[in-house]
Amino acid sequence: MNNIYTIVIIGGGNIGSRHAQSLALLTVPTNLVVIDANQQSLDVCKSRLEGLAMDWNKVSVSYFTSIEALPAKVDLAIIATGSSSRLNLMQSLFARCECRCLILEKFLFSSLHEYELASALIEQQKNTLVYVNCMKRVFEAYQWVLKKLNAAEGELNMVVSGKNWGLAGNSVHYMDLFGLGTGKNIRHCEIANSPDSKIIESKRLDYIEVIGKCTVLTDGNDRLEMTSSEGEDSPVQISFKKNDLHLTVIETGDKIEIEYQNEKVIFNYPFQSQLTITYFNELIHTGKIPLPGFMESSVQHQAFLKAMEEFVKQKKYDKTWKIT
């Protein structure tokens, strides 16, 4: 990599600005470029960088409303937009610049055909590493859990439950942990068409969420059940069982509590504004980022998307829909 690094964030709104907050604190010479067609999103990003203890001699930040502003060479690009524009932005990125590493936000795409097009596009980029920001795997708490799971024998039974936690948009985070805890392929993914399950329209045009239950099975009969219920928001609770091993994880905003063998272990819940800088430092020092690669995560995304398509069909929901 060069002595002066170039990082591009495409999408400067809520998530993109959190990436920017983190990367603005880098201590290596960096040009940070934020691109968003919406000036209001750029204003949000600017406001969130104000007051940070940045070293302006090391990090410069510039803002643009056009993708034409992409630099010719990029060390790291992050596409932090909604799923509807992600493929087009990937195509624009690869057509305009040489990119060393790309991070895509979930939910990747809302049509199966886009996964085919994206896979073919990535295959053409021989020198670009592509990751998906399913970041729970890098949390210290879940690394602790996975170490315990991987040391145990038997099939994994994992149960995720809570209220209004975003089954459609966030299931892939738990599917990623499930995949790491089993090391096996998904053979079945289904969202139950029960009387109390429903589709909820988002405030964002054409995006939807789900109240209901999703079941995932591996080819080794490991089982993941994820349920998001209606009601007052409550912490997400995750149960992991593997023969005699039993762990319960409770995500409580800024903390992650783990109950194990009548003891409670507490970890901080890291935010995106704390994590992205660690991704880039890993990239500098190891040439890799500790996130799932595109192909690995794409399999889980597509399994869930197929289940969503069947669920939407069963519910006779005839409007255009996407997952964020």
**Residue pair 323/207 in contact by the 8 Å Cβ criterion:** yes
Task: Report, as ranges of residue numbers, the positions in the chain whose pLDDT lies below 70.
Answer: 1-2
Cross-strand partners of 74: 99
The 10s digit of each residue's pLDDT in 273-289 is: 999 999 999 999 999 99
Looking at residue 137, the DSSP 8-state letter turns out to be G
Which pLDDT belongs to residue 58?
94
CA distances from 116 to 67, 73, 187, 207 (A): 24, 26, 20, 21
CATH superfamily name and code, 140-269+303-314: Dihydrodipicolinate Reductase; domain 2 (3.30.360.10)
Cα separation of 248 and 160, whole Å?
10
CA distances from 321 to 110, 209, 269 (A): 8, 10, 31
Burial class (CB in 10 A: 0-12, 13-18, 19+), 68: exposed
CATH number of 5-135+274-292, picked from 3.40.50.720, 3.40.190.170, 1.10.10.1100, 3.40.50.300: 3.40.50.720
**Residue pair 144/104 in contact by the 8 Å Cβ criterion:** no
Which pLDDT belongs to residue 1?
53
Which pLDDT belongs to residue 2?
59
Looking at residue 63, the DSSP 8-state letter turns out to be E
Please state the domain extents for the chain.
5-135+274-292, 140-269+303-314
Cα separation of 214 and 74, whole Å?
39
Q: Do 5-135+274-292 and 140-269+303-314 come out as alike in CATH topology?
A: no
Stated pTM of the model? 0.96
3-state secondary structure the chain: CCCCEEEEEECCCHHHHHHHHHHCCCCCCEEEEEECCCHHHHHHHHHHHCCCCCCCCCEEEEEECCHHHCCCEECEEEECCCHHHHHHHHHHHHHHCEECEEEECCCCCCCHHHHHHHHHHHHHCCCCEEEECCHHHHCHHHHHHHHHHHHCCCCCEEEEEEECCCHHHHHHHHHHHHHHHHCCCEEEEEECCCCCCEEEECCCCCEEEEEEEEEEEECCCCEEEEEEECCCCEEEEEEEEECCEEEEEEECCCEEEEEECCEEEEEECCCHHHHHHHHHHHHHHHCCCCCCEHHHHHHHHHHHHHHHHHHHHHCCCCCCCECC
Amino acid identity of residue 45, one-letter, is C
Which pLDDT belongs to residue 206?
87
- Cα radius of gyration rounded to whole Å, the chain: 20
Cross-strand partners of 4: none
Cross-strand partners of 198: 211
The 10s digit of each residue's pLDDT in 22-42 is: 999 999 999 999 999 999 999
